[in-house]
Structure formats: C-alpha cells, structure tokens
Structure 1
Amino acid sequence: MKSMLIISRQGPWSGPGAREALDIALAGGAFDLPLGLLFLDDGVFQLVANQHPTSLEQKDLTANLQALPLFGVESLYASARSLQERGLEGATLKLAVEVLDDSALTALIDRYDQVLTL
C-alpha cells in the first residue's frame, strides 16, 4: 500500500482547503492508509487553540483535528519556519505535532510515495 503525505497550507478560515485536508486524512486513516499530515505556511494556524469560528460563520475544525489520532493518523508535523514566521510556538498548540526544520521537511516529503497539497 502506498503512503501519502497531506500538506495543509491554508488557514482554517481562508477557504475549503483546511477542511478538505482534514477530511482526506480522516478518510485515509479510516481505511488504514499509511499517511502523514503536515501543517505548512498558514496551515499552522489550524493548530492554534481557542479560535472562535462562529464569529466568522464557520464550522470549528477542532473536533476533526482531535479525531485524527482516533482514526490512526498519528504522523502529524508542522514547519518550524512557518510557526516562527507567524509567532507561534510548538508548546502552545492544541495538537501534538512534530516540529521540523527545513531539511527535515525535505526528508519527510521524500519518505512518502504520494504528496497531496491543499
């Protein structure tokens, strides 16, 4: 079975990409597809706690994020550069992710058979 890395690059409320990335990850996990999920660029904003999506008339993605490990999606990563550029720290995120520098990101991407960017 081929492995897949999903790269989520959109903020949680900037369009459908964040939700679609989570939906694909949850579906893949339900079918035991070996996959990882990488939060990159504005995608790291999905990991920030205490967001208020109802004020934007959006659905909260927190439940989807918290369900990832329940569906077997445990390979979760975030870009150290993306976090730093946005003033975020790995210790303050609502989801446990492995924070990777640029060289580790390159190695990560090379490990997967397929890469899907949303």
Structure 2
Amino acid sequence: MAKSMLIVSRHAPWGGLGAREALDIALAGGAFELPVGLLFLDDGVFQLLPGQRPAAVEQKDLAANLQALPLFGVEDLYVCRQSLRLRGLDGQPLALSATPLEGPELADLFDRYNLVITL
C-alpha cells in the first residue's frame, strides 16, 4: 500500500516561506506519485484568493505553483470553512477548487493520511 501525505498550509502567501514550502512539498510528493492532499487552514486560506499582487509586498507570486498542483497529480485540495468564515472570505470566489471542510470532517481528513506535515 502506498503511503499518503496531507500537507497543512497555515501561512498567508506573503507571510514568509511557509506557504511556498508547503506547495513545494506537495509538488514534490505528486511528482513521485505519492497520494498527496493539501489543506488550507488559518491564514493559509489567503493563498486561494484570486488577483493577488505579491510584487506590492516584494514577494514572489505563488499562483503558478497553485495552478501546477493538478499537473503533478495533487488534486485533493481542501479548505477549512471556519478559517474562511473568520477571515470574512466565506462565499468569496477562490482561485482553485477546494473542498470546504469543518469540525468532524477535518478530523476524518487527518485520519485518511499516513503522514501529516504542517507548515
């Protein structure tokens, strides 16, 4: 049985290296055909907003990395509904299609993966 990995991305795209590292790990796992899921939690939900202007805060754009996820086989994308709600983003259009989860659904998600990495 193949091992699986859930990556929990908790950082905003402009809040340091955490968001980029989470995407890099997801892409690397997908490249090696490892079953990978990616959960956007806490400020990580900001990565899913379209139309970001990272140059304004002297950061690199993560949009290309996000769009490459399905090309690397990373198609299991999830977002914490409560994180969206607490940040006033519930109902906002997202740059990627991600399944919203909350409460017991999140616990079930963690149970489905052999390895969980939080960044």
In the TM superposition, what is the alpha-carbon distance from 1:91 to its structure 2 partner? 5.3
CA-based RMSD: 0.9
Partner Cα separation in structure 2 for residue 32 and residue 71 of structure 1: 8
Partner of 1:64: 65
Partner of 1:17: 18
Unaligned ranges ≥5, structure 2: none
**12-21 or 85-94, larger mean C-alpha shift:** 85-94
Q: Given the superposition, is the C-alpha separation of residues 22 and 85 from structure 1 closer, same or farther in structure 2, using an over 3 Å criterion?
A: same
In the TM superposition, what is the alpha-carbon distance from 1:78 to its structure 2 partner? 0.2
Query: One-letter code of the match for 1:3?
Result: S
The number of residue pairs the alignment matches comes to 118
Partner Cα separation in structure 2 for residue 80 and residue 89 of structure 1: 7
Q: Given the superposition, is the C-alpha separation of residues 106 and 3 from structure 1 closer, same or farther in structure 2, using an over 3 Å criterion?
A: same
Partner of 2:5: 4
Partner Cα separation in structure 2 for residue 76 and residue 57 of structure 1: 27
Identity %: 65
1:45-91 residue CA offsets vs partner (Å, 9 max, x unmatched): 00001111001111100000000001100000000000000111355
Partner Cα separation in structure 1 for residue 35 and residue 55 of structure 2: 33
Partner Cα separation in structure 2 for residue 105 and residue 16 of structure 1: 24
The SS at the match of 1:15 is coil
Partner Cα separation in structure 2 for residue 69 and residue 87 of structure 1: 27
Unaligned ranges ≥5, structure 1: none
State whether residues 90 and 99 of structure 1, in contact with CA within 8 Å, keep that contact through their aligned partners in structure 2: no
1:3-34 residue CA offsets vs partner (Å, 9 max, x unmatched): 11000000001110000000000011111001
Partner of 1:86: 87
Partner Cα separation in structure 2 for residue 25 and residue 72 of structure 1: 9
Structure 1 outlier segments of 4+, above 3 Å: none
Partner Cα separation in structure 1 for residue 33 and residue 112 of structure 2: 18
Partner Cα separation in structure 2 for residue 49 and residue 102 of structure 1: 26
